[in-house]
Structure 1
Amino acid sequence: MSESIVVGVDGSECADHAIDWAADEAVRRNRPLHIVHAVDSSPYRAPLFAPPETIERLTRLSHRVLDEARERVRQRHPELQTTTLLVAEYAPKALMRESEKAYELVLGSRGHGGFSSMLLGSTSLRMAARTTVPLVIVRGDTDAQGEVVVGLDLTKEEETTLSYAFDAAALNEARLRVVHAWLMYPTYIEAGYAPDDEKVEAEIRKQVATVIAPWRAKYPHVEVVEEVLIEHPVAALTNASRSARLVVTGAHERSWTAPRLGSISHGAIHHAHCPVAVVPR
């Protein structure tokens, strides 16, 4: 069996959007869909906090979440091979395990546990920093028919990010916009260093073209736009996302103590106007 598309659900409206996106993705990629609902029941196990029937009620509600998710998929794609799983476990831990052998993990931007003013739920944020497979956080307009946008950092290894972005553009028959944004730090200017912006931009464009050239050759049918901007990278990706169907960014940076989400990826998943794919480097 091919690697599945795993989607985490909790019965929220954001999870419904994630289910729709994941089901469409599974059909596009001809892969099975695996729906996971994780419930951390530990606070309810002690008699001090809840009577015995509370666990039974929680179980019934959890099965209802999965049943409704599966029915939503069936109505959208009746022929899609779909499985479900209910686990009594901390959600990030369960999702990490279930996605280890998956092609992709899909989550909503927020679940039932977050405040309405939160831009991103804790589970999505934790998984973005730790994921070992591409993670799509579904937010904004999920039915957009626009281009695929990928952020390019010339200081990092971006092979896996570009591979995912070109593949997504080819799969959706969409244009791919490669965005590289940069800023001159004010301290340099205050110190009397005044760079020739046009000269710097021309050199950066040459570097971007060099990085992209092999991918253009590999995907000759994908229309590619290379965009170099003197702007903060998060602002550049956020602006580009307004007319995009998907933003693709590298996942995390190395840390001596723990996985850490890079600042650009962190900003993109909080502020983009469309789904964001976070791809491990």
Structure 2
Amino acid sequence: MNPVIVVGVDGSAAATAAVEWAADDAARAAARLLIVHAVDRSPYETARFPALGLGDAVTLSAESVLADAEAVARKRQPGIDVTSELSQGAAAAVLRGQAGDAAEVVIGGRGLSGLPGAMLGSVSTHVAGHARGPVVVVRSDPDTSHGEIVVGLDDYHACEPALAYAFEQAMLRASTLRAVYTWQLPNHAHISETIHDLDQIHADQCQIAAGILKGWRQQYPQVAVVEDIRRAHPVDALVSASEKADLVVVGSQGRGAIGTVMLGSVTLGVLYHARNSVAVVRP
């Protein structure tokens, strides 16, 4: 069975960009595209007056949102298999539930409920923080191509799912993969940098990064890889690299119970500040 890419829609411009992104990914991966719109009736219900007679209007509006999204997907990629689904419940919970069987979940950076000026909506934050597998938060023009995928490296096994996704994306897109690995000196203000051999430290970090990538290079020999080793904070380095990237891929090591904690500070920082789309890949 072909893999399934799920895209959440709400009728916003951000959701339309997400549909276009997901349709392109479905075409590249020979995947089925499932467009999902969630209807949360709880704001319209009371114990004595369920839905206050708004059920038909809400359903009609939801069906219109799905029909418009399907039209966008079919126009974008006429050859893909597209279906749609109207689900009941809060959008974040619905999309989180869909993630278990999906190759990836795609959402806009900020939907209709987002605050003006906000870089990331609450639904995007929740889904990226809790859903298993890749979650792509689209915030770039799908028609703009830089020919480069960026992935953040660390020396923990937690980055392996992100690397698998990043290499696969780079292969499908015939793009260069920029692997960003950062290092920093210990934050001891009373110790001068002059006592450190910065060149040797940098060389050691390059060896670590090369070791992380060695097996993946062998598995994906067709992917051109740039090892980008920087002395910088990882959020600063990844945000800087995002300016000329079609996608930034990060793992997530957060283990807390709250959505933002689940993401980890680096992942959350990249999500909020990256210039282009971001994929968060949780195991």
Q: TM-score, normalised by structure 2?
A: 0.93
Residue 85 of structure 2 aligns to a residue whose secondary structure is strand
How far apart are the structure 2 equivalents of 1:49 and 1:185? Answer: 61
Equivalent residue, structure 2, for 1:279: 281
Q: CA deviation at 1:157?
A: 3.2
- Consecutive unaligned residues of structure 1, counting only runs of 5 or more, are none
Cα deviation for residue 170 of structure 1 reads 0.8
Contact 2:9 2:16 in 1 (8 A): yes
2:145 alignment partner AA: A
Change in Cα spacing, 1:77 to 1:181, as seen in structure 2 (3 Å) is: same
Using the TM superposition, give the Cα deviation of residue 47 of structure 1 relative to its aligned residue in structure 2, in angstroms: 7.8
- 1:124 aligns with 124
Bigger mean CA offset, 89-98 vs 136-145: 136-145
- Following superposition, which runs of at least 4 residues in structure 1 exceed 6 angstroms of deviation? 47-51, 256-259
Residue in 1 aligned with 2:200?
Answer: 199
Q: CA deviation at 1:190?
A: 2.0
Aligned to 1:71: 71
TM normalised by structure 1 equals 0.93
Please report the RMSD computed on the Cα atoms of aligned residues, expressed in angstroms. Answer: 2.0
Instruction: Work out the percentage of aligned pairs sharing the same amino acid.
Output: 39
Q: Secondary structure at the match of 1:134?
A: strand
State how 1:247-266 maps to structure 2 within 5 Å: 247-255=248-256, 260-266=262-268
Q: Which amino acid aligns with 1:110?
A: R
Instruction: Provide the residue aligned with 1:5 in structure 2.
Output: 5
Matches within 5 A, 1:53-64: 53-64=53-64
- Say which is worse superposed, 39-48 or 105-114, in terms of deviation: 39-48
Question: Which residue number in structure 2 is paired with residue 182 of structure 1?
Answer: 183
CA distance in 2 between counterparts of 1:51 and 1:39 reads: 12
CA contact (8 A) 1:153 1:180 kept: yes
Q: Retained in 2: the 8 A contact 1:129–1:252?
A: no
Aligned mates of 1:263, 1:71 — CA distance in 2: 38
> Separation in 1 of the partners of 2:33 and 2:83?
6
Contact 1:137 1:276 in 2 (8 A): yes
Cα deviation, 1:172-226, whole Å, max 9, x if unaligned, reads 101111001122243x132457422211111000111111111111111111110
Contact 1:10–1:111, Cα closer than 8 Å, also in 2 = yes
Cα 1:200–1:155 shift into 2, 3 Å = farther
Distance 1:56 1:23 in 2: 30
Q: Distance in 1 between matches of 2:232 and 2:121?
A: 27
Query: SS where residue 260 of structure 1 aligns?
Result: helix
Distance, in Å, in 2 between the alignment partners of 1:204 and 1:166 is 21
Single out whichever of 207-216 and 191-200 deviates more from structure 2: 191-200
Aligned 8 A contact 1:45 1:55 in 2? no
Measured in 2, the distance between the counterparts of 1:51 and 1:250 equals 40
The more displaced of 89-98 and 118-127 is 89-98
Residue 147 of structure 1 is matched in structure 2 by 148
Q: Distance in 1 between matches of 2:154 and 2:181?
A: 6
Pair 1:54–1:278, CA change in 2 (3 A) = same
For 2:28, the equivalent position in structure 1 comes to 28
Q: Could you tell me how far 1:27 is from its partner in structure 2?
A: 0.6
1:14 aligned to 2:14? yes
Structure 2 distance, partners of 1:7, 1:270, is 20
How many residues are treated as equivalent by the alignment? Answer: 280
Question: Structure 2 stretches of 5 or more lacking a match?
Answer: none
Q: Deviations over 1:78-116 (max 9, x none)?
A: 221111111120111111122211111000000100112
Task: Measure, in 2, the Cα distance between the counterparts of 1:256 and 1:83.
Answer: 33
SS of the equivalent of 1:229 reads strand
Partner of 1:107: 107
